[in-house]
Amino acid sequence: MTSDLLFLDIWNKKANQKITLMIAKLEKILKRWDSTLRENKWCGIKNEDMNVLCAFIRENSSKDKLVKQVIDCRNYCIYSDMKTEQLLTLTRRALKTIKRRYHRTYSQSEMYKSVTRHLFSEQIKKVDGRPLRTLDVEVEKPATARFVRRYVEKRMGQEYHRQHKKDDAFRTNNKARHSVNRAISYQLHNIGQVETGERRTFSTHWKPIYDPFTGTTVLKKKMSYSTLKEAKMAIIQWHADHPEDNIPMQAYKCEHCHNYHIGHNRELKPVI
């Protein structure tokens, strides 16, 4: 009985190692496809790529969501009238499924929920007692924007140090610097909401969204892109992540921050 249990344990470990290796190969191929399709509008498909895709399909159930997505990628690759946009959409769907299933990571909102709650309740005396959550560094005066940026940088740096000060690699690599910069960028984008209850106009700097910290619907600023090309690539990524959304989207230049945003164009007919 003991030998049977030992054999099953060894067999399960080998099976898990085989699945992990296959997923790693599949993810590497799909990432290469995604990169070449975005940059060159062309994908050099190798015989080895098709062998890995077919092996993954054979080893797993055909009812699985990821397997169905890999089948779609494989079948579309052999079409004579293959379009790069459609293949890019299918590739990103499969990559998104792999990330959600095999790469569990905590989002910025989950990691810094407590410090966000404190920042949203603070009022800045230097700016006439205005709440910090209403100060947008992209549209405020330069002096106010610099002060808010330094304030957020200090608070997010302290919070990251509090969470990771016991890590062995905290002071031996550059991961901490990168993580702190990400946290600062997240919080600077998170603050700057409008709580006056005004309705936004078409193609503006804000979007209506529910704020869990205030318990009301506020106007949150949209994601900004420095160039029109980046905004158009974000539209492609949006349609890849939300295949059920058939309303056309457009990129436009914002009159408030002078960057580019994306949004739905409800004056156009939905794509069926």
- Residue written as tokens 């569990």? 104
| Burial class of residue 148, CB neighbours in 10 A (0-12, 13-18, 19+) | buried
pLDDT at 264: 84
State the pLDDT at residue 146.
92
Over the range 35-72, which residues count as b (16 or more CB within 10 Å of their CB) and which as e?
ebbeeeeebebeeebeebbeebbeeeeeeeebbebbbb
Helix 113-121, helix 142-164: angle, nearest 10: 150
Cα gap 135→188, rounded to integer Å? 9
Q: How far apart are CA 260 and CA 262, in angstroms?
A: 7
One-letter amino acid identity for 84? T
| Token pair for 58 | 């054979």
Please list the ranges in the chain whose pLDDT falls under 70.
1-16, 104-106, 168-172, 196-203, 266-272
For residues 199 and 209, give the distance between their C-alpha atoms in angstroms, rounded to a whole number.
Answer: 12
The residue type at 265: N
Domain range list for the chain: 2-102, 108-221, 228-264
Residues with Cβ < 8 Å from 236, sequence gap 6 or more? 85, 88, 89
The pair phi, psi for residue 41, each rounded to 5°, is 55, 30
Of 226, 147, 136, 246, nearest in space to 187 by CA: 136
> Which residues does residue 194 pair with via DSSP β-bridges, in sequence order?
219
Calpha distance 148→132 (Å, rounded): 8
The model's pTM is 0.57
Tell me how far apart the alpha carbons of residues 206 and 221 are, in angstroms, rounded to a whole number: 4
Q: What's the confidence (pLDDT) of residue 16?
A: 66
